[in-house]
Chains A and B, each alone.
Chain A
Amino acid sequence: MKTRKLKFPVIKNTSSASRILSMNDYLRFVSFNIKYTLNKKVYRDLKKASAVNMPFVFK
């Protein structure tokens, strides 16, 4: 069987630095997520499960 050599494009330098959001932009980002993408029940359940019951003490 004849095999064909496929030539896929090689995309270089795609990993750009992650964007740093200003505090106000971050607030907009969080508000957007809450309004459109977040399942509040799942989030609250996760928060409950991940609770830490030992107080933080500065050492």
Chain B
Amino acid sequence: MEYHSAFHLISGILKKTGISCVLIGGFAVNYYKFSRQSADVDFLITEYDFNKIKNYLRQAGYTQDSEKKVFARLRNKRPGFLDIDFMFVDKDTLDKIMLDAKEVAIAKYRFLIPSLMNMIALKLHSLKYNFDIRRAKDLIDIVSLVKLNNVNARAEEFRQLCLKYANESIYHKILENI
């Protein structure tokens, strides 16, 4: 089958293989009302499932830019085929994120994105492990998601989420920016 975009390709591969993955990154952030620049597509997937689909990606012209323990980054020279990052999570994590995921359509293809709170949890995790570099993006994302979706950042529930996936210092940084 001839695919004409990254979303068309991923949607086709998921249908063909029955594999599940969850769209994160700029597209998921946009669903929650914050439209910021992005230049790629990010998915959560298990490493086991990624290994099952990577040949399809190669056949569509994707080459692996890098693969680490926790992610694989692919690029494609064809127009319309955005770079794709696959972030690896364990099956239990993916299943739990999928439980309250939302379905969205992009160029008529359907994808799952995490709930708002799980999106924030993912961003908190990234901030925790690479704060200096990621603050410019993830801190702004979290603050924007909180503001635009009327999340009460002073509620104990939100503080607990911050402590679970990041730390007290990051929680206060968020409050300072709201």
Contacts and interface: CB of A to CB of B under 8 A. Distances in A.
Q: Do A and B make up one complex?
A: yes
B155 interface: no
Given A18-B34, A55-B90, 13 more contacts: A18-B148, A21-B30, A23-B27, A23-B31, A23-B106, A27-B107, A30-B27, A47-B40, A49-B133, A51-B130, A56-B93, A57-B90, A58-B93
A56 B46 CA distance: 11
B92 interface: yes
Nearest to A29: B35
Q: Which of A19, A43, A58: most chain B CB closer than 10 A?
A: A58
Interface residues of B, number: 51
Contacts of B133: 49-50
Interface of A: 18-21, 23-24, 26-27, 29-31, 33-35, 38, 40, 43-44, 47-59
